[in-house]
Amino acid sequence: MNHKQPPRKIIRITDKIAGRNDAAHVNRSPSQQNDRGARVMAVTSGKGGVGKTNIVANLGYALTRLGQRVLLLDADMGLGNIDVLLGKAPRYNLSHVIAGEKNMDQVILEGPGGMSILPASSGIDDMTRLSPDQRGHILQALDGLMDSFDMLLIDTAAGISSNVMYFNVSADDIIVVATPEPTSITDAYALMKVLSMKYAERRFKLLVNMAPELEDAKEVYRQLSLVAGRFLDIELVYAGCILRDEGVGRCVMRQRVLTEMDPESRAGRCFMDLARSLAHGPAPSDGNGRDRRFWKLLLENKFERQDRN
């Protein structure tokens, strides 16, 4: 069998979407056995340049090593680059899905470790201002894939734009990425403030990236949890940290993920620890005890109601 032939790759991806003969399905954590399939995690930040995309790519690969079926969604609609980070050159992306030219499964790429990737467009200004109907179209299309995956990781854009808010509100878990830089800490707080006050989000996970040592990451969490506890009605959970590692930059230049190239490095071990905690952790519920499955947002149109208020 010649695995280099393009048709074989298409068949493998199609089989994954259909959920056929996937050994990872057997290894699903009990916390992932929900009525809508994949657990949805948004990886987000107030400030750009904190390493969100690199985190999503490495975390996705680490989760595949744990037997999880993983789908990465590049939700930085106007400046998507997770495909570039992974050395992919897609012909189609989410802009073609929104335009009705392609179905969602037709733009999915196969990434390292067998994870799947939904690439975004780059340099298309209109994609940064999606209408409610366009955002709803993306979620409806994604909903049809949920039973085929265990984890959906959403790489949001930075900041507090409507697109960023929408994809965060749609997630089961909101993972806020910050670095030890004061500007990053300030912007992380601002992001959580908007999500809590306007969209009633009550639970966040903090992931500290590029921390020199563990103590530095714990200090970032201490600062944010202190101010959040004083001024916001939220729960801030420490998700862990990714230690500063020169190998990360080298892998970026080679368009590879560190968790594949050097999993025993400082950062590689951090990614694996994070993947284990997320894969085996309990599925969350919102502050009111309601099930926060992905489909709940589709049925209740939570974002549109809040946006009109």
Q: Amino acid identity of 239?
A: A
pLDDT at position 137 over 70: yes
Predicted pLDDT at 206: 98
pLDDT, tens digit (0-9, with 9 covering 90-100), for 63-79: 999 999 999 999 887 56
Strands (E), 129-228: 151-158, 173-178, 203-211
User: What is the pLDDT at residue 92?
Assistant: 85
| pLDDT tens digits for range 88-98 | 887 888 888 88
Whether the CA torsion 222, 223, 229, 235 is positive or negative: it is negative
What is the Cα–Cα distance from 271 to 264, expressed in whole angstroms? Answer: 10
Residue 185 lies in a domain: yes
State the DSSP H helix or E strand holding residue 94, giving kind and residue range, or none if neither.
Answer: helix 94-98
Residue 26's pLDDT is 37
Q: What percent of the chain has pLDDT over 70?
A: 75
- The DSSP bridge partners found for residue 79 are 122
pLDDT score recorded for residue 147: 86
Q: Is 307 helix (H, G, I), strand (E, B) or coil?
A: helix
The amino acid sitting at 166 is Y
pLDDT, one tens digit per residue, over 24-47 is 333 444 344 444 578 999 999 999
pLDDT score for 140? 79
Describe the crossing of helices 214-231 and 182-199 by its angle, rounded to 10 degrees: 40
Which pLDDT band, with edges at 50, 70 and 90, does 308 fall under?
A: low
Rounded to an integer, what distance in angstroms lies between the CA atom of residue 46 and that of residue 188?
Answer: 5
Query: Has residue 297 been placed in a domain?
Result: no
d(CA 17, CA 27): 17
Residue 82 has pLDDT above 80, yes or no: yes
Residue 11 within a domain: no
Residue 296 lies in a domain: no
CA nearest 107: which of 133, 78, 142? 142
pLDDT at res. 210: 98
The DSSP secondary structure of 217-230, one letter per residue, reads HHHHHHHHHHHHHH
179-200 mean pLDDT: 96
Q: Calculate the average pLDDT of the chain.
A: 81
Q: Can you give the CATH number for the domain in which 59 is found?
A: 3.40.50.300
pLDDT of 287 reads 43
- Is residue 118's pLDDT more than 80? yes
Query: Which has the higher per-residue pLDDT, 283 or 101?
Result: 101
Range of the domain at 86: 37-288
Pairing of strands 109-110, 116-118: antiparallel
* 6, part of any domain: no
* pLDDT in the model for residue 83: 82
pLDDT at 301 (0 to 100): 54
**Total domains present in the chain:** 1
According to the model, what pLDDT value does residue 124 have? 54
pLDDT value at 173 more than 70:
yes
User: 24 lies in a domain?
Assistant: no
Please report whether residue 217 resides in a domain: yes
The pLDDT score that the predictor gives to residue 144 is 80
Neighbours of 178 (CB within 10 A): 29
In a domain, 201, yes or no: yes
Can you tell me the distance from the alpha carbon of 151 to that of 37, in angstroms, rounded to the nearest whole number? 8
Say what the pLDDT of residue 80 is: 67
Which whole number is the average pLDDT over 265-271?
Answer: 97
- How many Å separate Cα 299 from the centre of its chain? 22
CB 275 within 8 A of CB 59: yes
